[in-house]
Structure 1
Amino acid sequence: MSAPLILLPGDEVPSDHLPSNNSNPLKLGPGLRLLSQPSSKPDATSHVLTATQAGLVTTDAKRNTVSILSFPNRRYIPTVNDLVIAQIHHSSIDYFHCMVTPHTAHALLGQLSFEGATKKTRPMLKQGELVYARVLSVGVGAGAEVELTCVNPATGKSEPGGLGPLVGGMVFEVSTGMAARLIRASSSSAEQGDVIDGLAVLSELGKKLESLGGFEIAVGRNGKVWVDCSNAGDSAIKATIAIGRCLQTTDDKRLNPVDQKKLVTRILREMKLA
């Protein structure tokens, strides 16, 4: 097994740190890009993987993927295919102009970039409303506009992850590193109670709140987590706040799985939910 490797932007990923699953094509996760360079053979090129952000090289042999695990408090930089939670700032004839991160240019979301949307049925989103979207393109060069979409370009469906407007619920801020871990944990097919990427908090909350109807969660790589507990009836607000507190405390204090489970138990008792 290769030793852990930390790369800086522009560093090349050594071949011995790539997964060796030849049955599936290699997939690139966040923080990497494929570059072509001249080969020693005439009229030929070779390909190298380079880092676009600083972080730890991580691989998934089963899915044959390689990515960069960024440092927890890294500033979010939009990357194609990232899932983000964006807030509508204003709209124009063809686009919604969305805030993805503070103090940066607005991202563009086409008014027809929703499942089944037409000029008559498109969502009429107002300032302050939230959407769960995927980064479609980031452009090239300084000042390039980021474009978002709420559909899978290949299928026209709001997949994966239930893309589209987020109605109700509450949004909590976490670090970008925590957001990446939550996405991996929430998208994993592991059994309930398993620890994914050092996180037990989601599965523990799901187990403890199952009797209240569970909860919905959407995680953006830009460090935003949307939580909805509308099925919990009169306890919906308390359950939503409890989940947000658990996620933020786990992030701030970098709790291990055992302490995460203790935290969930304590907070649910404080909120009189257990």
Structure 2
Amino acid sequence: MSAPVVLLPGDEVPHDRLPTKNSNPLRLGPGLRLLSQPSPKAGDSNHVLTATQAGLLTTDAKRNTVSLLSFPNRRYVPTTNDLIIAQIHHSSIDFFHCIVTPNTAHALLGQLSFEGANKKTRPMLKQGELVYARVQSVGVGAGAEVELTCVNPATGKADGGLGPLAGGMVFDVSTGMAARLIRASSASADETDPVDGLIILGELGRKLESLGGFELAVGRNGKVWVDCSNAGEGSVSVTVAIGRCLQETDQHNLHPHDQKKLVTRILRDMKLVS
């Protein structure tokens, strides 16, 4: 087994670590950017990729994907196309000013950056309310403005549940755990081959199906929004139980077998399952 590769910002991805036995286009995950593409005329068959953050290089030959697995507790740095959960701080004529991480400048979310929004139908968001947004652009240099959007620029639609988040609760996790949850939620649940060693979402889904299930939105900035409104009178207990499961899995870096035991223990302690 080859030694793991840890990259720092600006480091070039070694060519021998890129997937080569796949005819599909190479896909870049978080933490990497493309400097140049292969040039068949010049006989160059290698991509030139560099890291935009520190992390562990990971590849998926089946999906022809290469990405950086960020260190669990690193500070979140906004990156274009990241999905985040932001909190409204205040509004101005054209923008909502949003908190993405504590002690950093507010991000700007256009008041018309919502599906079907115009001056009459735009959402009237108040201080403290939450939105699920995508990082649209990041300026260059210290103090550069970060712009958010709640629509897909190509379609004008709120793809992936973008927009205001009503109800539910928000739980804090590490940025590394947030990235793992995003990858796990976008893949099919498979205990024999769990994505990044996470089976907890699938386990919670099976255990809570009879109670109405739950909705989840994960932000790369270390925020997880959980809504269990279908659980009726027990919605608060179910929501808290899910948040505890996610946070303890993160804090103790639990293996899949221990994740199953944790879900069972917490749901029993809160009298949600027998």
Measured after TM superposition, the shift of residue 63 of structure 1 is: 2.9
What CA distance in whole angstroms lies between the structure 2 residues aligned with 1:203 and 1:47?
36
Q: Secondary structure at the match of 1:242?
A: helix
Partner of 1:234: 233
1:143-158 mapped onto 2 (5 Å cutoff): 143-158=143-158
Mapped contact 2:191–2:199 kept (Cα < 8 A):
no
TM-score, length of structure 1 as denominator length? 0.93
Partner of 1:198: 197
The C-alpha deviation readout for 1:251-271, integer Å capped at 9, x for no partner, is 001110101100000000010
Mapped contact 2:22–2:62 kept (Cα < 8 A):
no
1:23-172 mapped onto 2 (5 Å cutoff): 23-35=23-35, 48-159=48-159, 161-172=160-171
Change in Cα spacing, 1:259 to 1:157, as seen in structure 2 (3 Å) is same
Change in Cα spacing, 1:262 to 1:75, as seen in structure 2 (3 Å) is same
Partner of 1:216: 215
Q: Secondary structure at the match of 1:171?
A: strand
Change in Cα spacing, 1:194 to 1:62, as seen in structure 2 (3 Å) is closer
What percent of counterpart residues are identical? Answer: 81
Q: Secondary structure at the match of 1:196?
A: coil
Letter in 1 for 2:269: E
Partner of 1:260: 259
Task: Show structure 2 runs of 5+ residues with no match.
Answer: none
Mapped contact 1:213–1:232 kept (Cα < 8 A):
yes
What CA distance in whole angstroms lies between the structure 1 residues aligned with 2:47 and 2:141?
22
Measured after TM superposition, the shift of residue 61 of structure 1 is: 2.5
TM-score, length of structure 2 as denominator length? 0.93
Measured after TM superposition, the shift of residue 199 of structure 1 is: 0.6
Mapped contact 1:26–1:65 kept (Cα < 8 A):
yes
Letter in 2 for 1:121: T
The C-alpha deviation readout for 1:121-163, integer Å capped at 9, x for no partner, is 111100000000011100111111001111111111111x210
The count of corresponding residues between Structure 1 and Structure 2 is 269
Task: Show structure 1 runs of 5+ residues with no match.
Answer: none
The C-alpha deviation readout for 1:139-193, integer Å capped at 9, x for no partner, is 111111001111111111111x210000000000000000000000011134588
CA RMSD of aligned residues (A): 2.1
Q: Secondary structure at the match of 1:147?
A: strand
